[in-house]
Amino acid sequence: MQTLVLGGGCFWCVEAVYKMIPGVVRVESGYAGGKRERPGYEQICSGATGHAEVVKITFDPAVTDLRTILDWFWQAHDPTTLNRQGADVGTQYRSVIFFQSPEQKAEAEASRDAAQTLLGKHIVTEISPMPVFWPAESYHQDYFANNPGNSYCAMVVRPKVEKVRKKLADPNA
C-alpha cells in the first residue's frame, strides 16, 4: 500500500471524493503542516496553528497509481485560489500536497504542471515534505456518509460527490 496526504479545502469534501475512487482502501481526515502538537478542530479553525485540513489516502498501487490519485485531486477542488475553497477561507483550507519521497515530489510537480496547462490558470498548490499527520477527531471521520442531512454536506460536499460519480460512470464526460 502507498499513502499520500492532500489538502483541498474542507476535509469532509476531499474525504468523500476519495472514498469513491477505485483502489483507495482508506481515507482518514486530519491535520498537517502546522506548529502545534496534537491540534484540535477549534484550534485549526482559528487559523493560528498553521495546520491545513488534510486527508491521508491509502491506496493499492496494483489497482490505481499515484498519478490517478493526483488527477482526482486537481478535479476535486480549485487549486488556483489561495487559502480558500468557496466560502471556506483561511490557511487551514489551503491546497497542499505533502509528499513522502522524491518520487512522489516529482510526480506531484509533473501533475501540477499538467493540470496548470489544462486549467490555463496559475495553480497555487503547495508541494511540501510530509510533516506529522494528526488524525482529526472521530466525529470528522466519514463525515459525509454519517451526516448526509447536514446543510454543508448537502450544499457543498454532495455536488462534488455527484461530479465524481458521473465522471467514474463516464470517464469521457
- As a whole number of Å, the end-to-end CA separation of the chain is 30
Residue 57 near residue 5 (C-beta atoms within 8 A): yes
Cell numbers describing residue 115: 493540470
How far, in Å, CA of 122 to CA of 79, rounded?
Answer: 8
> Which residues share a beta bridge with 29?
55
Burial class (CB in 10 A: 0-12, 13-18, 19+), 38: exposed
Out of 10, 13, 45, 153, the active site residue is 10
| Structure-block grid coordinates of residue 140 | 470528522
Please give the helix or strand (H or E) that residue 43 lies within, else none: helix 41-46
In the residue annotation, 45 being an active-site residue is answered as no
Catalytic residues, by residue number, are 10
